[in-house]
């Protein structure tokens, strides 16, 4: 983008979308479409575990941008609900990993269905070309964002 006005419009739009998608009310409402009643942090944890598989609490904390004590509380709630279990880490017997149970895997799949339904509601009336353009541009934007994030990490390490 060549001018500050376009850049500001992009940033404002992204902030608006991110604030909607990450708001607790929005997240729980999307999950409720599939009959899922979990707190927002638990929804995020189940989604991450469903996408990335079993992982150490520290890895989950990094992905959720939170601390170890919060992950402990979230994992405890999910374990009490029968959605996760703690497993020994095969690479380090002193460590554990958090994994979805069968019930947790079913919840993760339901969250995917709910997300797919939401996407259909949002862009289902768009032309195939517009949907393809959106996906292509978002993919390009994601690649550039990851590139910049890697540069930032390198510059500040």
In the chain, domain spans: 4-124, 126-157
CA distance 83 to 60: 15
Residue with tokens 């690479």: 91
Q: H or E stretch including 92?
A: strand 92-100
* pLDDT of the residue at 156: 83
Of the candidates 30, 58, 52, the one whose C-alpha atom is nearest the C-alpha of residue 43 is: 30
114, 136, 116, 108: which is closest to 51 by C-alpha? 108
The pLDDT tens digits of the residues spanning 33-89 come to 999 999 999 999 999 999 999 999 999 999 999 999 999 999 999 999 999 999 999
CATH of 4-124, one of 1.10.1610.10, 1.10.10.10, 2.40.440.10, 1.10.260.40: 1.10.10.10
Q: Which residues make Cβ contacts (< 8 Å) with residue 131, sequence separation at least 6?
A: 123
């Amino acid at each position: 983008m060549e001018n500050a006005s376009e850049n500001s419009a992009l940033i404002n739009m992204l902030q608006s979308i991110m604030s909607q998608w990450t708001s607790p009310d929005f997240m729980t409402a999307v999950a409720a479409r599939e009959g899922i009643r979990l707190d927002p942090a638990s929804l995020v944890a189940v989604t991450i575990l469903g996408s990335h598989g079993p992982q150490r609490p520290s890895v989950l904390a990094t992905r959720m941008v939170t601390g170890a004590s919060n992950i402990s509380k979230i994992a405890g709630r999910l374990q009490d609900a029968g959605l996760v279990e703690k497993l020994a880490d095969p690479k380090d017997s002193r460590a554990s990993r958090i994994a979805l149970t069968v019930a947790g895997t079913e919840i993760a799949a339901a969250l995917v269905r709910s997300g797919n339904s939401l996407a259909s509601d949002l862009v289902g009336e768009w032309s195939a070309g517009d949907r393809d353009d959106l996906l292509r541009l978002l993919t390009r934007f994601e690649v550039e964002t990851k590139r910049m994030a890697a540069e930032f990490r390198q510059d500040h390490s």
